[in-house]
A and B are shown apart, each in its own frame.
Chain A
Amino acid sequence: MMPTSLLPTTVVGSWPVPEWLERLKTDWFRSRMSRTQLDGVHDCAVTAAIKDQELTGLDIVTDGELRRDNDVDYLLARIPGIAIPQPAKDFYYDYYDARVRTSPVAPVPPDDAGLGLDADLAFTRARTDRPVKFSLTGPFSLAHRVSDTVHDDPAELVRAIARVLGGVAGALRDAGADVLQIDEPFLAGYPEQVGLAVEAINIVTRDVGTTGRDVTWALHVCYGNRYARPLWEGHYDFLFPAVLDAHVDQLVLEFARKGDEDLPVIARSGWDRALGLGVIDVKSHTVETPELVAARIHRALDLVPAERLVINPDCGLRHLPTAVATAKLRAMVEGTARVREKLASSESPPTRTRRRRNGRSGPATTDTPLDTLPDAPTTETSAETSTDDRTTASLAPAPGASL
């Protein structure tokens, strides 16, 4: 695995879906193409997307979620106990009308725990030597797309799905994921339920970090990107303090479209782990300049130290034309590089600490070389050192911000 640097760059998850791929995906849902043919198309598209990400200079890549019909159904339809009465679609991106048949339980035998997503991950892992991020829609959002007459308490469905996703996450870890990201696109619409969402996230992550190889956990919360439109409006203050209890290493949030007025919210909330900083507006076809990206990063650096920042777009790139998306990402990579250079010219030698994903109560640790995280063991320190002064930041990212 190649080393990453300070301010690692990545995508949130999805890659542009070209019109021809939309046609072919829709053809499958309308029984005009075989599954075998579509799988072949997906293999080619994913391979190309990985290469495109590498060419734009991203440090951490994904499969572009190109096999998925949308952010929900690809996963939801695989969960035992979820029924899809009408699996045909007029357009591939439409949502199924899903319902709960029986309370979801993890599949038996355990080899099937990955629900096939581990095979997707393995395909990606085999096609790049860069760190791989894999995203899965979180239990809270999945549960909100299902009609449930089985559970008396809707929260039980969220928890049941979370337990299944815990198994999926373990399989993804074993298949070579470096970053596992939980997406909760619907959470902003139900701010009063953030506690339940965090509880479910902790069910998903509970066993993954304690056995086998380690992974970095990210949580992505946005205001929606369905058809390139926001689903909700509001501010991220609803996440706190509940999200401080989430066992994740990164919060991946949107700031480019909404502006950075929520950054102080994050800074004063007590969030001391990594922040995935959205610097690219995915709802606009206007390509940001490297200067604008750099300015956005610098504004964030006033509040969050560099070693805790990951640089990414606001959300998935699915709805952008490929040429626009790649131009935006090139600007993002170049803008980030300029900030790195500036930091490098003013930095003192690195020594810093970090917190682990279990947050405020977690032990502080020193940095480890970038190319060995997360597999290499970390060294505990006896004392906590401030990470809030970016002038003391190293060129190495914090664990949640690195691999």
Chain B
Amino acid sequence: MLVDFRPHARLRNRKTPVTVTDSLGPVMDALSESATDLSRVRVVCDWVQYKQNFRDVVEVRPILSSTPDAPLPEGVRDDDLEVAVDVRRAAGVDLRATTRAALETRETPDVVLEDWGPTRESCIWGFNALYWTALEQWEKATGQAYEQALPGGESDARNHDAARGVIRELFTVWDGLADRGALPPELYVVEIGVGNGAQARVFLDELRELDVEHGRGYYRRLHYLMCDYSPHVLDLARETVAEHAEHAEHVSSFVMDACKPRSVLAFLQFRVFLIYISNVYDNLPTDEVAQLGGRTYLVESRAFLPAADAAEIAASVNARPDQLGGLVHALLRLGPTLLAEARPDHVSSPEDAVEFWRRTWSAVRLAERYAGLAGLDTYELSPTVNGEALRPLLESGADVRMHVSNGAVASFTETIGLLHPFGKLVCHDLFARDVGAYRTGFRGPGKYDGSVVNWVNGPLLAHIGRRRGFDVSYAPFAHRTGTNIVTMTAQVRD
């Protein structure tokens, strides 16, 4: 048996005291009492810091031993299952009984919403997408704007000092190019994930003001492109920027999937001087991979509604639990307004549909299992990056489970392809800055309001950027203390 107690720092934390005896003792007892082959089991303990998340206190995750088209290496562990414990919530739970139940469960009474598959394909991302496309209805139901749901209550994107620093660096680059006669006539800046437009407004205000001092007419040549997945958010951003009439002629806005920026911005290849991304990557679909006992696995997941929650939700919409799956997928496909039109027998108004959405979202859980990867190169990390990019992060052979940040990788690789040779990408987000961070702390997934959040695999993006000729660096967000936000900067190397 192998035990991995990841939140070991909590053992010495007076604010949130945890003991190995309390967290693990009942679990071990339950395992000992079961028919489980104890030589082929691993127990992992996490501190799941998100109060709204996709996990139960105790979960059992099968480890699938068969790997098609690949021999099983000699001398590696070949476990059957993993028992996962959320230490944060363990104190109030009968862990022994819960573990026993989890080990004994064969036929689940829960309502399964999908088949097993890579987590990035789970319907939780459908909920996530729905949140952004129907944000206005969600906000109306909750009574709070999405920015208020962010830690600290606002985005980190509106800092004047930060904007001035970036603009001065841009001026230096533009001056150098202008002196050589190599400055293009149009100066492009792209913002992905525009929030309420405050960042754009601050940037444009500051650039206009600094340009007057600088005297080289850069504001006149500026094109600021605001891109966001949410039309509602984009509308808000446009209103904010339009408060200054002069900015309007310099700003364009695009509804865009951050995972596919080239679908809208391909015409800007090698032409963008600054790409600004804030709090986007942590909200994009991701898989997880795990290196366990010398073998590499993909974490497969399956969304479900626990039986008790499903019964309550079904009753609230005049449905049987076995009808919930169809209703959920109709909601994700149609949105709340059309769902009310299409299924009036279950939800009589858009407001009812939003309520159904919120209750379902609150209840949805992810079951997990590990499926062996036959070869890293056979795993598609993004349309242009395969799993070989993970090799440097896994090659130590030490056990680790980490995010693959597929959406962030796709977005990042496409976005840096837009950068001018002297351009720069600046990104504020939740980044795990080294692989070790995954060994000591839980990095998602969690629920933020109606969206999904995962920390972004910083070393992976750095590695991928490096293999594309970029220096990628990380630093704590410089303009606010007490935040987990990290600033990533990517610039052409050599």
Within the assembled complex, what's the spacing in Å between the Cα atoms of A191 and B179? 13
Do A95 and B421 have beta carbons less than 8 Å apart? no
Do A19 and B388 have beta carbons less than 8 Å apart? yes
Q: Which A residues touch B492, using CB under 8 A?
A: 229, 231
Within the assembled complex, what's the spacing in Å between the Cα atoms of A227 and B469? 5
Q: Which B residues touch A228, using CB under 8 A?
A: 468
B183 to chain A: closest residue by CB: A233
Chain B positions 386-438 with a Cβ under 8 Å from a chain A Cβ: 386, 388, 391, 417, 420-421
Within the assembled complex, what's the spacing in Å between the Cα atoms of A226 and B469? 7
Contact A229-B182, Cβ < 8 Å, known A19-B377, A19-B388: no
Do A232 and B466 have beta carbons less than 8 Å apart? no
Which of A229, A230, A233 interacts with B184 by CB under 8 Å?
A: A233
Within the assembled complex, what's the spacing in Å between the Cα atoms of A234 and B182? 6
Contact A231-B494, Cβ < 8 Å, known A19-B377, A23-B388, A224-B421: yes
Is A74 interfacial (CB 8 A cutoff)?
no
Do B494 and A230 have beta carbons less than 8 Å apart? no
Within the assembled complex, what's the spacing in Å between the Cα atoms of A95 and B466? 12
Smallest distance from the beta carbon of B239 to chain A beta carbons, Å?
36
Is A91 interfacial (CB 8 A cutoff)?
yes
Within the assembled complex, what's the spacing in Å between the Cα atoms of A93 and B468? 10
Which of B270, B420, B494 interacts with A95 by CB under 8 Å?
A: B494
Q: Which A residues touch B467, using CB under 8 A?
A: 91, 93, 227
Do A230 and B421 have beta carbons less than 8 Å apart? yes
Q: Which A residues touch B417, using CB under 8 A?
A: 229
Interface of A, helix, strand, loop or mixed by DSSP: loop
Q: Which B residues touch A229, using CB under 8 A?
A: 270, 417, 421, 468-469, 492
Which of A95, A224, A232 interacts with B182 by CB under 8 Å?
A: A232
Which of B181, B388, B421 has most A Cβ within 10 Å? B421
Q: Which A residues touch B466, using CB under 8 A?
A: 91
Contact A231-B421, Cβ < 8 Å, known A91-B466, A91-B467, A226-B469: yes
Smallest distance from the beta carbon of B270 to chain A beta carbons, Å?
6
Q: Which B residues touch A227, using CB under 8 A?
A: 467-470
Q: Which A residues touch B420, using CB under 8 A?
A: 233
Which of B391, B467, B469, B492 has most A Cβ within 10 Å? B469
Smallest distance from the beta carbon of B452 to chain A beta carbons, Å?
31
Do B494 and A226 have beta carbons less than 8 Å apart? yes
Smallest distance from the beta carbon of B150 to chain A beta carbons, Å?
34
Which of B377, B421, B470 interacts with A232 by CB under 8 Å?
A: B421
Within the assembled complex, what's the spacing in Å between the Cα atoms of A191 and B466? 28
Smallest distance from the beta carbon of B298 to chain A beta carbons, Å?
19
Smallest distance from the beta carbon of B339 to chain A beta carbons, Å?
40
Smallest distance from the beta carbon of A321 to chain B beta carbons, Å?
10
Chain A positions 331-381 with a Cβ under 8 Å from a chain B Cβ: none
Do A233 and B421 have beta carbons less than 8 Å apart? yes
Within the assembled complex, what's the spacing in Å between the Cα atoms of A57 and B388? 32
B181 to chain A: closest residue by CB: A234
Q: Which B residues touch A93, using CB under 8 A?
A: 467
Within the assembled complex, what's the spacing in Å between the Cα atoms of A87 and B492? 23
Within the assembled complex, what's the spacing in Å between the Cα atoms of A229 and B270? 8
Within the assembled complex, what's the spacing in Å between the Cα atoms of A55 and B376? 31
Which of B182, B377, B417 has most A Cβ within 10 Å? B182
Within the assembled complex, what's the spacing in Å between the Cα atoms of A93 and B493? 12
A19 to chain B: closest residue by CB: B388
Q: Which A residues touch B377, using CB under 8 A?
A: 19
Smallest distance from the beta carbon of A76 to chain B beta carbons, Å?
14
Q: Which B residues touch A191, using CB under 8 A?
A: 180
Chain B positions 284-302 with a Cβ under 8 Å from a chain A Cβ: none
Within the assembled complex, what's the spacing in Å between the Cα atoms of A385 and B180? 39
Within the assembled complex, what's the spacing in Å between the Cα atoms of A229 and B468? 8
Q: Which B residues touch A232, using CB under 8 A?
A: 182, 421
Q: Which B residues touch A234, using CB under 8 A?
A: 180-182
Q: Which B residues touch A19, using CB under 8 A?
A: 377, 386, 388
Chain A positions 200-230 with a Cβ under 8 Å from a chain B Cβ: 224, 226-230
- Scoring B residues 330 to 360 as 1 if CB is less than 8 Å from chain A, else 0, what string do you get? 0000000000000000000000000000000
Q: Which B residues touch A230, using CB under 8 A?
A: 270, 421
- Scoring A residues 124 to 154 as 1 if CB is less than 8 Å from chain B, else 0, what string do you get? 0000000000000000000000000000000
Smallest distance from the beta carbon of A53 to chain B beta carbons, Å?
25
Question: Which chain A residues have a beta carbon within 8 Å of chain B's beta carbons?
Answer: 19, 23, 91, 93, 95, 191, 224, 226-234
**Which 4 A-B pairs rank lowest in CB-CB distance, beginning with the nearest?**
A227-B469, A227-B468, A234-B182, A226-B469
Question: Can you list 15 A-B pairs with a CB-CB distance of less than 8 A?
Answer: A19-B377, A19-B386, A23-B391, A91-B467, A93-B467, A226-B469, A226-B494, A229-B468, A229-B492, A231-B494, A233-B182, A233-B184, A234-B180, A234-B181, A234-B182
Given contacts A19-B386, A231-B492, A233-B182, 5 further A-B contacts (CB under 8 A): A23-B388, A95-B494, A229-B417, A229-B421, A231-B421
